[in-house]
Amino acid sequence: MDSLQQFLWPDGQFLGIEWHVWKVLGWGGNVAFFSRFLVQWYATEKRKEVVVPPVFWWLSLVGSWLLLSYALFYQKDSVFIFANAFNWIPYLRNLVIHRRHLKAHMTCATCQHVNPPAARYCMHCGTLLPLEREGETASLAA
């Protein structure tokens, strides 16, 4: 048993890293931040066009917050703190905009088809869609 432990955790380290809560948190941030590229690449290859799925922004947000926590509370290095201090803002903003865009979709009263925000007529049955939608003003009528 001791030899197995010595094989898996030589000198109390795994993969040459002395693990503790902050290392798990920091590496968790790295994994989240790195995996977003794989997710985005997969989505793009699947659709055969450049796609940035919402999960990309979620992974970006979680990864940057974990790395910021690691930099702030464990590493306490100004370079790494600054590198992660503000990049989460556009990630969060993109998620807010994405959510608002989804909410702006219009369900047709006639056929229940969900139409994109810019649609004036139902893309399935052609019914005229109401002009005023939740959170919008009639200024779009012009």
Shortest spacing between CB 112 and Zn ion, in angstroms: 7
What is the footprint of Zn ion within residues 7-36 (CB under 5 A)? none
Q: How far is the CB of 107 from Zn ion (least distance, A)?
A: 9
Dist. CA 135–CA 67, nearest whole Å: 35
Site string for Zn ion, 72-91 (x = CB under 5 A): --------------------
What residues pair up with 14 in beta bridges, in sequence order? 17
Structure token pair of residue 51: 């796609």
Site string for Zn ion, 98-127 (x = CB under 5 A): ----------x-xx-x--------x-xx-x
From 105, 91, 106, select the one nearest 40 (Cα to Cα): 91
- 99 vs 105 by CB, closer to Zn ion: 105
The tokens describing 121, both together, are 């007529």
Smaller CB separation from Zn ion, 78 or 112: 112
What's the burial of 51, exposed, middle or buried (CB within 10 Å: 0-12/13-18/19+)? middle
Contact residues toward Zn ion (CB under 5 A) are: 108, 110-111, 113, 122, 124-125, 127
